[in-house]
Structure 1
Amino acid sequence: MFALLNFLALLSSALSAPILGLSPGSENAAATGTPTALALSDLQSSFKRPAQFARVAFCSSVSISNWTCGEPCTALGNVTFLQSGGDQGLIPLYYIAHDPTDNSIVVAHEGTVTSNILSILNDVKLGLVDLNVTRFPSTAGKGIQVHSGFQQTFERTADGLLAGVMKGLSDTGAKKVAVTGHSLGAAVATMTAAFLKQSVDPSIDVSLAVFGLPRGGNQAWADFLDSTVGVKYMTNQQDPVPIVPPRSLGFQHPSGEIHSLDQSQNNFTSCPGQDNEHCSTGNSLLQSNTTNHDGPYLGITFGRKSCPDGQ
């Protein structure tokens, strides 16, 4: 967890007291609705397979392209690799695959690699910047701003990724695109899903399920995701990543959080509204547990240790 700890240390140093609280005085409102208890069986269909695809994204590009990434690959069964991009450093890996179980195209983004400090540099560019409306034309004039580092990471591979998805849809006849990722990969995945939603034929179903999601933009961005993509994201216990960047800097989570309460994998809650204070938003960095960031999520733990070339 070296890089994650550096990430949090840099945040605390840069922001001092504001990050340690829950941003009193923030202009963004936290939801207060009572969470609903969920059983593990309620989540399997929505999150288990996306988690398995997101886990693969931590393995080496060679093992992914050959689909020889050990248990992460074999657990998914007869999946066809289509394309990958990035360098697993300053440009995090993504890959595209065809999943025959539901005839879908899957896009998975690599999360923050804890052994590679270049990866974390994407995370610590904290400023909000205007969303690139050239890629998101329907957002013009809506005041949408996003995390500078996340947008830069997304932009580095957006064109090649879109071309790969379009080719995959054409070659396979698939009518679904499923986007996933963990940590930094989750943040980039939200942008990818929104981008694809506006780029593919309207008949194509674009879904998004991610894990350990940090805040990626302002209130207008959260509202845009709610109205167009419909984010589903899972947070785990006292993981500090979902509560950064802080709301005091203008950041806001979209709706759609599912929160895991303990290690048992039997106690989950559905958290109504944006940044529900009864779920991860109610956590504090003072009581955070960085080991919760990697999982488990429905029995899946993220990172390179499960890969044959793991570190």
Structure 2
Amino acid sequence: MLAFISLLTLLPSVLSAPIFGLKIGSDGPSSKEAATALTLGDVESTLSRPAKFARVAYCSTKSITTWTCGGPCKALPNVTFLQSGGDEGRIPLYFIAHDKSDKSLVVAHQGTSSKNILSILNDAKFALADLNVTRFPDTAGKGIKVHSGFQQTFERTADGLLAGVKKALADTGVKKVSVTGHSLGAAIATMTGAFIKKNIDPSVEVTVTGFGLPRGGNKEWADFLDNDVGVTFVSNQNDPVATVPPRFLGYQHSSGEVHIKDNSQKNFVACPGQDNENCATGNSLLSVNVSNHKGPYFDDISFGHSACPDGATVVKDDD
């Protein structure tokens, strides 16, 4: 699969012949602004808690429902489980929880293994499809296109998830919703965050934080996220998932990238603009490292089912 990704990325960007029904053209715009250093304190204060919730999402529904998923759950005390959905398979797990320490609701989406996410990104559903404007009415006519497979996965649980968030907001009285996920979970989290924000009281703050986020749509989608949602996402060193699907297929990252430069878990930079060439977008194909997708990212946080203890995991995979 990595060989397939490399082949696609090495194709001349000026080709115009369709591949799998897609029109190949030139790369989208990329930022060349200098990245700025972030301290570990900066990262921990804003990203550590979402990362811990995204890690929990890899555990089994049963262990999350009872908040007995071992170390991942113990790292998040004062949390009350509220709702879950999905089947831990074709329909990835999500859960909603009340984070009493942060006075917020958390929506966390389960990711998938490094091997499987690369397959998903390059199967027949990686074609760009029109964003469903019945869910996002104010985007009609804006030319927004998103990853077909991601949109289909998002829509399988979108309505029940939104109903759960609305009920939880009314029951708890909190004024903040944090949406998070890793890998496929991060891609779905961007759509969920946008959907929630468009359908709840605008006085409620909605934040979206992703880890190991693949590109999820075209330039218009990236602009929509920048202007209407605001996404922060963390790319880890030479993780190939952060650079696929490739830009010459019409895909574009939104702004908000934080890039981890080495395995010290201390060297972080903020990357201005979309697809900043000084961060993940500038990675060499000769240096891809699939293990970077799993982690660790910081605070020894890695993602995958292996982070959960025996009895608290879903079906084992290559993580």
TM-score, length-scaled by structure 2: 0.90
Question: Given the alignment of the two structures, is residue 201 of structure 1 paired with residue 201 of structure 2, yes or no?
Answer: yes
Question: Given the alignment of the two structures, is residue 213 of structure 1 paired with residue 227 of structure 2, yes or no?
Answer: no
**Distance change in 2, residues 1:243/1:291 (3 Å):** same
SS of aligned partner of 1:174 = coil
Aligned-residue offset at 1:148:
0.3
Aligned-residue offset at 1:11:
4.1
Aligned twin of 2:271: 271
Aligned twin of 2:126: 126
Aligned letter for 2:77? G
SS of aligned partner of 1:201 = coil
Distance in 1 separating the partners of 2:27 and 2:38? 31
Runs of 4+ in 1 over 6 A off after TM superposition: none
Aligned letter for 2:284? S
Identity of aligned residues (%): 63
Aligned-residue offset at 1:20:
3.7
Distance in 2 separating the partners of 1:45 and 1:11? 35
Aligned twin of 1:305: 306
**Distance change in 2, residues 1:40/1:304 (3 Å):** same
**Distance change in 2, residues 1:22/1:256 (3 Å):** farther
Question: Given the alignment of the two structures, is residue 47 of structure 1 paired with residue 37 of structure 2, yes or no?
Answer: no
- Deviations along 1:268-301, one digit per CA (max 9) or x if unpaired, are 1110100000100001333200000011122210
Q: Is the 8 A contact 1:112 1:120 kept in 2?
A: no
SS of aligned partner of 2:214 = coil
**Distance change in 2, residues 1:119/1:87 (3 Å):** farther
Aligned letter for 2:187? A
Aligned twin of 1:112: 112
Distance in 2 separating the partners of 1:260 and 1:102? 25
Distance in 2 separating the partners of 1:155 and 1:139? 17
**Distance change in 2, residues 1:242/1:130 (3 Å):** same
Question: Given the alignment of the two structures, is residue 85 of structure 1 paired with residue 85 of structure 2, yes or no?
Answer: yes
Aligned twin of 1:34: 34
Aligned twin of 1:148: 148
Aligned-residue offset at 1:234:
0.5
Q: Is the 8 A contact 1:111 1:186 kept in 2?
A: yes
- Deviations along 1:80-103, one digit per CA (max 9) or x if unpaired, are 000001111111110000000121
Aligned twin of 2:229: 229
- Deviations along 1:101-145, one digit per CA (max 9) or x if unpaired, are 121110000011458x69954763210000000101110110000
Distance in 2 separating the partners of 1:27 and 1:97? 40
Distance in 1 separating the partners of 2:79 and 2:13? 44
Size of the aligned set, in residue pairs, is: 300
Aligned letter for 2:302? T
**Distance change in 2, residues 1:217/1:76 (3 Å):** same
TM-score, length-scaled by structure 1: 0.92
- Deviations along 1:204-225, one digit per CA (max 9) or x if unpaired, are 1000111000000000000000
Aligned twin of 1:3: none
Q: Is the 8 A contact 1:91 1:119 kept in 2?
A: no
**Distance change in 2, residues 1:143/1:29 (3 Å):** same
Aligned letter for 1:104? S
Please, which runs of 5 or more residues in structure 2 have no aligned partner? Answer: 15-24
Aligned twin of 1:19: 9
**Distance change in 2, residues 1:27/1:260 (3 Å):** closer
SS of aligned partner of 1:157 = helix
SS of aligned partner of 2:44 = helix
